[in-house]
Amino acid sequence: NAGVMQNPRHLVRRRGQEARLRCSPMKGHSHVYWYRQLPEEGLKFMVYLQKENIIDESGMPKERFSAEFPKEGPSILRIQQVVRGDSAAYFCASSPVRELETQYFGPGTRLLVL
């Protein structure tokens, strides 16, 4: 059973460009969470999605950031008009349908904005 997959593992963007980060949850998991880790800081929750629904986006910046988890395909975290402060590691986690299930994390995408 493959774990949580994230791609790309490394992404370099220039200021003003768009960044798209993809997350494929573990097989059988329909809940996806995105977390961000700024350099030398802890992980911060961003958004929690189920298939086609955003459940909790309390940690998402109000502008430029969006997330989706379509019926088919991976979850996408999209950052428009990136700025240097967006440089961070972005981690995706997934969990099964049942409540209080453990979240399993992917390897992360390291975004560098030049």
Partner 1 sequence: DAKTTQPPSMDCAEGRAANLPCNHSTISGNEYVYWYRQIHSQGPQYIIHGLKNNETNEMASLIITEDRKSSTLILPHATLRDTAVYYCIVRLNFGNEKLTFGTGTRLTIIP
By CB under 8 A, name the binding residues for partner 1. 4, 31, 33, 35, 42-45, 48, 55-56, 59, 89, 91, 93, 95, 99-108
Kindly tell me the burial class for residue 71, based on how many C-beta atoms sit within 10 Å of its own C-beta (0-12, 13-18, 19 or more). exposed
* Residue 87 near residue 39, CB atoms below 8 Å: yes
In whole angstroms, how close is the CB of 66 to partner 1 at the nearest point? 18
Beta carbon nearer to partner 1, 83 or 97: 97
Beta carbon nearer to partner 1, 82 or 90: 90
Q: Phi then psi for 18, rounded to 5 degrees?
A: -105, 145
In whole angstroms, how close is the CB of 108 to partner 1 at the nearest point? 5
How many C-beta atoms lie closer than 10 Å to residue 50's C-beta? 12
